[in-house]
Amino acid sequence: IFGQARQATPNDLILLPTRTVIGTAPEGAPAPFDKFGITFPLQDQHVLTQSEVAIIKTATSAFNSSIRSVAASKELAVADMNAIMNQLVQGLRVEDGQIYTANYFSTASINTVLFSLDGIHPNARGYAVIANEIIKVINTHYNAKLPLVSAGSFPGATILPSN
């Protein structure tokens, strides 16, 4: 019934839209093997393997290199958003001395998390940190004096109590 299936590895990435598929019934699968991602393997289109992730990283690097090259030829500033987003994920100390992270499950306060509850998009505080990184690039490249925003004054993740 499964054809060729394999166990997921820690290096696999499950795509966000897969959340709508997990637990649904694949066509023609008999019970109790009728739940995608539970008793029936996820399909290839729902998972990025380690080799597919490597291809994406190589393409991202090449694309970013092209952007830097074109910008340099026109003497334009470039904020490396890939590097900035990676800093947000790893943890970033900002001007107020606070270290912000992407980790909801650490001992840190929820107020130091820079991502919204979907785990993908920055929250308002995260976007403020991104804005500051872009402002730094502008100030450095163009010898400008744009003021930084106070990231701590923007709301972070909001978790409401449940009943």
| Residue 131 included in any domain | yes
In the chain, how many domains are there?
Answer: 1
Q: How far apart (Å, rounded) are the C-alpha atoms in residues 94 and 145?
A: 18
User: Is there a domain that residue 103 lies in?
Assistant: yes
Closest CA to 123 of 148, 93, 101, 94: 101
Residue 39 lies in a domain: no
Long-range contact set of residues 23-29: C-beta below 8 Å, sequence gap at least 24? 29/1
* Per-residue pLDDT tens digits of the chain, which is 163 residues long: 666 788 889 999 999 899 999 999 988 888 888 999 999 999 999 999 999 999 999 999 999 999 999 999 999 999 999 999 888 888 777 777 777 777 776 656 667 788 887 778 898 988 998 999 999 999 999 999 999 998 888 887 766 665 5
DSSP letter at 36 equals B
Q: Is residue 99 part of a domain?
A: yes
Task: Look at strands 92-93 and 99-100 and give their pairing.
Answer: antiparallel
Global pTM value: 0.77
pLDDT, residue 93, reads: 75
Query: What is the reported pLDDT for 96?
Result: 73
Q: Would residue 101 count as lying in a domain?
A: yes
Identify whether 13 is part of a domain. no
Residue 145 is part of which domain span? 79-153
Quick check: is 105 in a domain?
yes
Euclidean distance between CA atoms 103 and 110, whole angstroms: 9
The answer as to whether 38 is a domain residue is: no
pLDDT of residue 119: 77
Res 18: pLDDT: 92
The Cβ of residue 16 has, within 10 Å, a number of other Cβ atoms equal to 11
**Nearest-CA neighbor of 83 among 67, 99, 97, 96?**
67
pLDDT at 160: 61
pLDDT, residue 79, reads 96
C-alpha–C-alpha distance, residues 43 and 39, integer Å: 12
